[in-house]
Amino acid sequence: MKTTTPILALFLAINLNAQEKPVNPAVLKAKQDFEAKKAEAAKGDPAVLYELGDLHYFGKGTARNFGDAFKAYTAAAAKGYTLAEANLGYLYERGQGVGQDYKKAMEWYSKAAEKGHAESQANLAEIYYSSKGLPKRDYVNAWKWYAIAGALGHKEAAVFAPKVQALLREPQVTAEQKAKVEAEVKTWLDAYKKKTS
């Protein structure tokens, strides 16, 4: 009569348990949804490319992969998709899936900000205010984007804009610079209202 060693018996028990373990239906569905989205994204629709980027970024139906998220967002942003532009700014700012680059973050945030994306406006303002990647704080542009984002409903920007506006004075900012940026904010908001109404 053949006997199994305790280690072999344990190994067999673990393997049998592993094979018997049922697959979680939610996990299986997420993987199927990911594969379907990936196939659909191959057609090049920017909204679908953006959604694929989100699946990669958050690890839904696939392993979390910032690099693949970056690629999908880049493809969508190349087609002018605003949310993808905003997310590229975020990835560049944090160095996720790509090397950290504040200049590139500002470029992508600016594209989305000009289209009225309030979160990008607030993020752009924060870069100017905190001087990330800049030689010094830029109170003028920080206030401009906080004010615009606040006017478009971004709550944190609306709270912070008056605090930054209080800094629009000598020695940080000349009276001429202050008057110019206040006019720019009004002009931007007026143009945006016309465009969206």
- H helix and E strand count, the chain: 10, 0
Q: What is the pLDDT of residues 112-135, one digit of tens each?
A: 999 999 999 999 999 999 999 999
| pLDDT of 178 above 90 | yes
| pLDDT of 10 above 90 | no
Residues 6 or more apart whose CB falls under 8 angstroms from that of 7 comprise none
Q: What is residue 115's DSSP assignment?
A: T
Rounded Cα–Cα distance for residues 185 and 165 (Å):
12
Instruction: Check residue 18 and give its pLDDT.
Output: 52
Q: What kind of architecture, by CATH, is found in domain 24-115?
A: Alpha Horseshoe (1.25)
Instruction: Check residue 23 and give its pLDDT.
Output: 79
Do the beta carbons of residue 173 and residue 140 sit within 8 Å?
yes
Which two three-digit tokens encode residue 39? 């196939």
Choose between 2 and 61: higher pLDDT: 61
| pLDDT of 11 above 80 | no
pTM, entire model:
0.85
Domain boundaries, the chain: 24-115, 118-197
Mean pLDDT of 49-60: 97
